[in-house]
Amino acid sequence: MALQFDASDRLVAAADEWADKRMTDREDALETKVKQALLEVEHLVSGVQDVEFDVDGRTVTYEPTDDLAAFLDQQAERAGVEPATVLAMHADLFATVFLDNYDQEERPPNAPPTE
């Protein structure tokens, strides 16, 4: 069962920061941040090491493993929301993962200023 959710403003802001620090475009950065977030969630629940998903604009489509799908169903039932909403909340939680690991000094010497 594929789930769809819209990337939160927080996730998009994290992607913008990722793009700025790594001199990449927003689309690639959003895909990277979504992958990092989904992988963190999936790995914690099912132990998988890779995820496949689609991003179209801000819409994320992802088919969770059976373990994660069952986990999301349980949480969704308890909260009275859809499983996709729970997945979106978890992705939002992990939106800023790995951002603090990139020091300004690691930027290429010819990189434009970020401020």
The whole-number pLDDT of residue 32 equals 94
Question: Do the domain assignments include residue 79?
Answer: yes
Residues 101 and 14: their CA atoms lie apart, in Å, by: 13
Question: Do the domain assignments include residue 109?
Answer: no
Question: Do the domain assignments include residue 111?
Answer: no
Question: Do the domain assignments include residue 110?
Answer: no
Write out pLDDT tens, residues 75-109.
Answer: 999 999 999 999 999 999 999 887 765 455 566 66
Range(s) of the domain holding residue 55: 3-103
Question: Do the domain assignments include residue 108?
Answer: no
Question: Do the domain assignments include residue 115?
Answer: no
Beta strands in the chain (DSSP E): 3-6, 53-56, 59-62
pLDDT, the chain, mean: 90
Question: Do the domain assignments include residue 9?
Answer: yes
Predicted model pTM: 0.83
Task: Look at residue 29 and tell me whether its pLDDT is greater than 80.
Answer: yes
Give the count of domains, the chain: 1
Question: Do the domain assignments include residue 15?
Answer: yes
The whole-number pLDDT of residue 98 equals 77
pLDDT band at 36 (very low <50, low <70, confident <90, very high): very high
